[in-house]
Structure 1
Amino acid sequence: MKKTEVEVKLRVEEPEKVPGLLQQIGAKQVHPREFEDNQLYDFPNFSLKMNRAMLRVRIQERGSLLTYKEAPRVEGGAKVRDEIEVGVGSGETLVVILTKLGMRPLFRYQKYRAVYRYAELIITVDETPIGVFLELEGPKPLIDEVAIRLGYKPTDYIVKSYLTLYQDYLKTRGLPLKDMVFDAP
């Protein structure tokens, strides 16, 4: 189903306080914390990347998703992007199909995600290898309201993707680009 996504990310400095803050504003947890393995795919000529579009396979315990996102734009300080998403029975099988179609992995990123809802707003708590982030997705006025209630200002909004945030993180440390994955135990 095609929809327009409006979202911002917020960097979390004190992750231990997030559940209590979300409870205080009346947000309800809809999915407990779970592991996600995300892989971006593109064609050998990088046609998706050149058009600022993306194709993602997300594998998680409650099911896998295939998502196509068109080029993002920034409106009112939020990232706005048209997307088409469908649930798939097996993310692993989908990866084989994409490879057979000539697509190749572009970037892999992992996170632990808990999902909350407040009115029409989806709030996710994303634990990544580069820190913890909140994502607020929904109507822009509600994004602004909840961000303020959580102690953030519009100047705190992040509209970059996890790929771009990770590239920035590696660049400041003089490290080459690699997948954003948790270290194996």
Structure 2
Amino acid sequence: MIEVEIKAKINNVDEIKSKINNLNIKKFKEELQEDLYFQSPIVDFAKTDEALRIRKTVENNIANIFITYKGPKIDSESKTREEIEMDIEDSEKASKILKRIGFTPVRCVKKRREYYQYEECILSLDFVEGLEPYMEIETVLEDDSQYKNSQKKIFEIFKKLGIEDGFERDSYLELLENKK
């Protein structure tokens, strides 16, 4: 699966929510996310632009847990990359397994995320502890043959929302680490 994702810093959340409403884009859920990122004992993910995390989400007091591998970004304009995800039952046990085989926890990233659906894209307003608000727009493809078309569509949606700058390719983990 290829995730085509572009994100931008939001200066005025109320203004963006008003524009979302004017385009008749509906919020379909809100959840809390807690991501625990790991560093590999073999490969420096910061250098290879990869990521491995355990994510716990909570929506309406129901928790879901999964582990995600994100491959290197495949272009210089977006965060388009391979993503492999798997549901797991116990984040503590998964974390313990990763630690036992040499992976080390790097940082926990916590956020509140509001999800909106617009055509085949998911828009999310993200409120990350320690960062300014951001909006991510993403879509998922089976392979990377059409990712340029998807990127173009995502930039068009940003333009409809009046967002034409503030784009960011770094992950929230990288943004938080760079603030140190």
Matched letter for residue 177 of structure 2: Q
Equivalences, count: 165
Aligned to 1:143: 154
Aligned to 2:107: 107
**Aligned-pair distance for 1:45?**
4.4
Q: Deviations over 1:78-97 (max 9, x none)?
A: 22111101122222332122
Q: Deviations over 1:85-144 (max 9, x none)?
A: 112222233212222222110222111111111011111111012110000112213212
Aligned to 2:92: 92
- For the 8 Å contact 1:27–1:117, the answer to whether it is kept is yes
What is the rounded CA distance, in whole Å, between the counterparts of 1:162 and 1:6 in structure 2?
16
- For the 8 Å contact 2:117–2:123, the answer to whether it is kept is yes
For 2:17, what is the secondary structure of its paired residue? helix
Gaps of at least 5 residues in structure 2 are 140-149
What is the rounded CA distance, in whole Å, between the counterparts of 2:27 and 2:87 in structure 1?
21
Aligned to 1:181: none
Superposition TM-score, scaled by structure 2 size: 0.82
Aligned to 2:41: 44
1:22 and 2:20 are equivalent in the alignment: yes
Instruction: Please tell me the root mean square deviation across aligned C-alpha atoms, in Å.
Output: 1.9
For 1:151, what is the secondary structure of its paired residue? coil
Percent identity between the aligned chains?
24
Gaps of at least 5 residues in structure 1 are 171-176, 178-185
Aligned to 2:135: 134
Superposition TM-score, scaled by structure 1 size: 0.80
